Amino acid sequence: MKGFLFFTIIGILYYLFQSRYPQPIIHHIYISVFVFLGYTLIYLMRYHKNFMYKVVKNVNDANKAPVYSLIPDFKIDENNNISY
């Protein structure tokens, strides 16, 4: 609920600011994308918790994996020696 109110208040404040000081169209696009992504993340975190858990777990696993194990040209033996 706090997130929903936060993005709604941002939208209202931007509308009031824009009505007094007109902004270029690119700013409308940026703020719209920001608010849309915020609402999307709120929706996913509230109603699709298993999906978000799997996404974050995959990101965490990829972050913990050593870089040389992701490249198939390298081989590591028992003594942690890297061969090509």
Cite the beta strand spans of the chain per DSSP E.
75-76, 82-83
- Note the pLDDT of residue 38: 93
In this prediction the pTM is 0.66
Binned at pLDDT 50, 70 and 90, residue 73 comes out as: low
Q: Residues 25-68: pLDDT tens digits?
A: 998 899 999 999 999 999 999 999 999 999 999 999 888 877 66
Residue 22 has which token pair? Answer: 């007109």
Note down the domain range covering 46: 2-83
Q: How many domains does the chain have?
A: 1
